[in-house]
């Protein structure tokens, strides 16, 4: 284990990234544990109230720590204790911020609502992408170009441009996750680029408007995909971040 860590993490200079990822995951887990205890009324933890009774969300210290860690990492170079400390601060801050990603997205306290699932989803995607980078993948598969090919700028540019195009097409087809992972693993983006677009995506509106058969196939494929995976995804999100509150329904006074 020690040799693997030295060869694959320390020597390539990925130790700060590993520390940031570990701090990110640990912060998210601890934060969710505390918020679930507060929600259940258990333990010594309570919501933090500022002056005037304003509820201070943990995204606030998260932003502060992210800024400190980010600027500190830029200023501290690549060697010594400084980069490691800044990486941990950045990871803690990012964990606090992305745990409330849905609040930032909706500009509303949707932490325990259905919309709050976005926070868990973004955190899982972040961990997966950073994990792939730590495993040796690099954006747009530049690591797939050998040393001789790197000497020719044209080959590198063509590789990056081609893989970027695949990821962009997948994004236009409404496949955000595929596009995101496709920037790290180009084959994923290629699969997303050649398959049918999701209904309502920019690609579907542009190219399927006068193709009813393509629209029907797109809708059917999306329905089957969502029916197969949405339930599993929701159960996983509930296990990680806690199930959202049931929506309050208006009383029928008729």
The full DSSP string for 127-154 is: HHHHHHHHTT--GGGGGGS-HHHHTSHH
pLDDT at 49: 67
Along the chain (254 residues), what's the average pLDDT of each consecutive run of 10 residues?
A: 73 87 96 91 76 75 95 83 93 96 91 91 92 78 55 66 88 91 85 92 92 93 91 90 73 45
Structure tokens, 185: 């693993």
Q: How do the domains of the chain map onto residue ranges?
A: 1-43+56-106+114-138
Cα separation, 135 vs 162, in Å, equals 22
> Looking at residue 184, what is its pLDDT?
85
CB of 224 closer than 8 Å to CB of 169:
no
55: three-class secondary structure by DSSP = strand
Six token digits for residue 50: 């500022």
pLDDT at site 102: 92
pTM, to two decimals: 0.81
pLDDT of residue 151: 53
Q: Which helix (H) or strand (E) holds 91?
A: helix 81-99
User: Is the distance from CB of 135 to CB of 118 less than 8 angstroms?
Assistant: no
DSSP letter at 77 equals -
What does R_g of the chain's alpha carbons equal in angstroms? Answer: 22
Give the separation between CA 27 and CA 29, rounded to whole angstroms: 6
CA distances from 188 to 70, 133, 163, 185, 195 (A): 30, 15, 10, 6, 11
CA dihedral for 69, 73, 74, 75, sign (positive or negative): positive
């Amino acid at each position: 284990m020690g040799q693997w860590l030295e060869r694959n993490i320390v020597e390539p200079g990925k130790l700060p990234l590993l520390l940031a990822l570990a701090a990110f995951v640990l912060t998210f887990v601890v934060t969710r544990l505390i918020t679930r205890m507060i929600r259940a009324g258990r333990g010594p933890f309570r919501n933090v109230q500022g002056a005037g009774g304003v509820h201070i969300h943990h995204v606030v210290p998260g932003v502060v720590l992210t800024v400190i860690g980010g600027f500190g990492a830029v200023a501290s170079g690549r060697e010594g204790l400084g980069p490691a400390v800044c990486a941990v601060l950045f990871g803690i801050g990012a964990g606090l911020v992305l745990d409330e990603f849905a609040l930032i997205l909706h500009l509303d306290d949707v932490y325990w609502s259905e919309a709050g699932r976005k926070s868990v989803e973004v955190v899982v995607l972040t961990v997966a992408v950073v994990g792939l980078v730590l495993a040796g993948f690099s954006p747009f598969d530049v690591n797939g170009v050998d040393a001789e090919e790197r000497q020719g700028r044209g080959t590198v540019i063509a590789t990056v441009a081609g893989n970027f195009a695949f990821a962009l097409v997948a994004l236009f087809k409404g496949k955000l996750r595929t596009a995101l992972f496709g920037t790290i693993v180009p084959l994923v983006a290629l699969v997303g680029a050649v398959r049918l677009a999701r209904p309502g995506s920019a690609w579907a509106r542009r190219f399927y408007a006068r193709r009813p058969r393509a629209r029907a196939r797109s809708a059917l494929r999306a329905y089957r995909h969502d029916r197969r995976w949405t339930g599993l995804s929701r159960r996983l999100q509930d296990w990680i971040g806690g199930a959202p509150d049931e929506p309050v329904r208006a009383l029928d006074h008729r």
